[in-house]
Amino acid sequence: EKVSYIIKFEKVLSYIEENLNKQLDLKDLASKAFLHPTYFSNLFCKFMGVPPIKYINLKKIEKAKTLLFSQNDSVEQISEKLGFLDAFYFSRIFKKITGIPPIQYRKMIRKFST
């Protein structure tokens, strides 16, 4: 039984990686694993150590860090590329995860890379 859950979660994790540019919700992810959203969320937390939405945000911010370093897109453009509805919310999540706002992150990372 555990193996079938691992396979289901592999599919969900791949789906998340391939769709970081979209808004992803719990219902959608649960349906990919053919599980009820609450049950899916509990299992995800058990296997991954974090709730599904937090995992998605961590992945999106990981990608945002790369984009902030490698591209000259504005914070608004990057937030759109990552499926956030508004740049303010994106900036709040970014700061919550990294400890600094995206603009400050970009300045800092570019300063240290030259």
Judge whether residue 2 has pLDDT over 70: no
Q: What angle do CA 21, 61, 98 make, to 5 degrees?
A: 165
In three-state form (DSSP H/G/I as H, E/B as E, the rest C), the secondary structure along the chain is CHHHHHHHHHHHHHHHHHCCCCCCCHHHHHHHCCCCHHHHHHHHHHHHCCCHHHHHHHHHHHHHHHHHHHCCCCHHHHHHHCCCCCHHHHHHHHHHHHCCCHHHHHHHHHHHHC
Rounded mean pLDDT of 53-62? 97
Mean pLDDT taken over the chain: 93
**What six digits make up the tokens of 48?**
């991954």
Rounded mean pLDDT of 51-58? 96
User: Tens of pLDDT along 91-110?
Assistant: 999 999 999 999 999 999 88
Return the residue matching tokens 């719990």.
26
**Number of CB atoms found within 10 A of residue 103's CB:** 13
pTM of the complete model: 0.90
Confidence at 8, pLDDT banded by 50, 70, 90 = confident
